[in-house]
Structure formats: structure tokens, C-alpha cells
Amino acid sequence: ILNVEQSPQSLHVQEGDSTNFTCSFPSSNFYALHWYRWETAKSPEALFVMTLNGDEKKKGRISATLNTKEGYSYLYIKGSQPEDSATYLCALYNNNDMRFGAGTRLTVKP
Amino acid sequence: DSGVTQTPKHLITATGQRVTLRCSPRSGDLSVYWYQQSLDQGLQFLIQYYNGEERAKGNILERFSAQQFPDLHSELNLSSLELGDSALYFCASSPDRGARTDGYTFGSGTRLTVV
């Protein structure tokens, strides 16, 4: 299965800032791309599952897009809040294999 | 509470020992997945069971084994433990064979410390 790269590794923003980070992959040979939110001392929580080029998903202030042709997915957070502080994981699912990226650790300062 | 229950939450054991980690999937989910997260590493897939049968294998060591029982709970057995096996072990579940449309539901993990 494909290697998943996430950037940046970590990100510090002020409360109220909007931010985005990237998940990139070398090929579109997968069934689905997943985004998870992982708060410290908790378990990863599924945010979005996207399968088609051009897919856009939204949940509150968080949204994600998928571009399989150019090999990336963006996760956007509008008006970041301290409770958005977490590690955001991207994962590719293909043939019973879910490969996770190393994540982007977001810290939102009040 | 995600609905996936893992026990125990913490485990400290000595090298050479054997431990069993337990996972009960979310109600209705048939697939169980085991992941390992070591220090400074991402989630590494170990093994998947679907409705009692092994479905996929990742980077699981020969010293490790797992099974899924008729009531769908799963156990991960780790034997001849080494210091490097110290990690956070997650169990996740999903409704069907894979994750084409639904994300995984993760448990809170078992932190294993080998001393």
C-alpha cells in the first residue's frame, strides 16, 4: 500500500486563526482516504472518509477535500479553538490495509 | 465512550513474559483491528479479524498472535516480551470487512510497559 506523508509535522496557531494541513500520496490506487482526530490521552476519532476525486466533506468548522489526480488531501479548520488542539491523522485504505500517516500535531493557543 | 472496550488500560510486565490484551468491538461491528504505536512512531497495523476469521496481517511479529471469538471480542497475545515491545496497543472496529465508507472506531488503548 501507499506511503502517506503529512505536513507540517506540527503547527501552532492562535485562537481564531484558520489553518490547514496536507496529506499527500504518490498514487490514487486506494479505495478511501480517512481523516482522524486524536486528542492527547484519548483514542483516534474518525472525522471524514473520502473516496472520489473532488470529494469535499464538512463537519462544523472542519472540512476536507480530496484531489486524487494531484495526490493530496487538505484538512481545513476555520476559526481554530483551543479544543481543536489534537493530532490529525490521515490514512489510506486499500485491500484490507489501512496505512496511517505520522500526523500533524495542532496546538491552538488561547 | 467510543463503544470499543479495551482491557487492561495499563500493563507492566517483565521481559520474557506473556500477556493478553482484550478488546470488545462496538456493538454490531464485525471487524476488529489491532494497531501498535511505539514511541515517536505512527500507528502500525498488526492484524485484522472479520467475524472470527483472520482477514489481513500487517507487521505482526511471530511472537504475537491474535484471535477473535464467536462473541466477536478479540485477544492479542504477546509472548517472550522484549523491552522494544513497550507501546500503546489500540484495538479498532468497523461494521464490515473494510473501511471503504466508514472510519474505524478506536478503543482507548492498552499501554504496555516491559521492564
Assess whether pLDDT exceeds 80 at residue A2.
Answer: no
Cα gap B87→B24, rounded to integer Å? 20
Contacts of A96 in chain B (CB under 8 A): 48, 55-56, 97-98
| B37 interfacial to chain A (CB closer than 8 Å) | no
Burial group, residue A22, by CB count within 10 angstroms (0-12, 13-18, 19+) = middle
| B104 interfacial to chain A (CB closer than 8 Å) | yes
Cα gap B71→B31, rounded to integer Å? 12
| A75 interfacial to chain B (CB closer than 8 Å) | no
Query: Which range (A53-62, A89-98, B27-36) has the least confidence?
Result: A89-98
Residue A58 pLDDT grade (very low, low, confident, very high; cuts 50, 70, 90)? very high
- Top pLDDT among A29 and B86 is at B86
Q: Could you write out the DSSP letters of every residue in B48-100?
A: EEETTEEEEE-S--TTEEEEE-TTS-EEEEE-S--GGG-EEEEEEEESSSS-S
Torsion sign across C-alpha atoms B85, B36, A76, A55: positive
Torsion sign across C-alpha atoms A23, A98, A56, A15: negative
CB contact under 8 A, B108 and A43: yes
Torsion sign across C-alpha atoms A94, A88, B67, B77: positive
Which pLDDT does position A1 carry in this prediction?
A: 54
Torsion sign across C-alpha atoms A45, B81, B55, A23: positive
The number of angstroms, rounded, from the C-alpha of A96 to the middle of its chain's C-alpha atoms is 20
CB contact under 8 A, B98 and A96: yes
Minimal CA separation from A37 to chain B, in Å = 11
Tens of pLDDT, residues B58-100 = 989 999 999 999 999 999 999 999 999 999 999 999 987 777 7
Residue A36 pLDDT grade (very low, low, confident, very high; cuts 50, 70, 90)? very high
Percent of chain B with pLDDT over 70: 100
Minimal CA separation from B61 to chain A, in Å = 17
CB contact under 8 A, B98 and A102: no
3-state secondary structure of A75: strand
First to last CA, chain B: 30
CB contact under 8 A, A44 and B101: no
Assess whether pLDDT exceeds 60 at residue A57.
Answer: yes
Residue A89 pLDDT grade (very low, low, confident, very high; cuts 50, 70, 90)? very high
Contact A92, A98 (CB under 8 A): yes
Q: Which of A48, A98, A103 is facing B99, going by the closest CB pair?
A: A98
Residue A98 pLDDT grade (very low, low, confident, very high; cuts 50, 70, 90)? confident
Residue B46 pLDDT grade (very low, low, confident, very high; cuts 50, 70, 90)? very high
Mark residue B40 as left, alpha or beta (left: phi above 0; alpha: psi -120 to 50; beta: remaining). Answer: left
The average pLDDT across B1-8 equals: 92
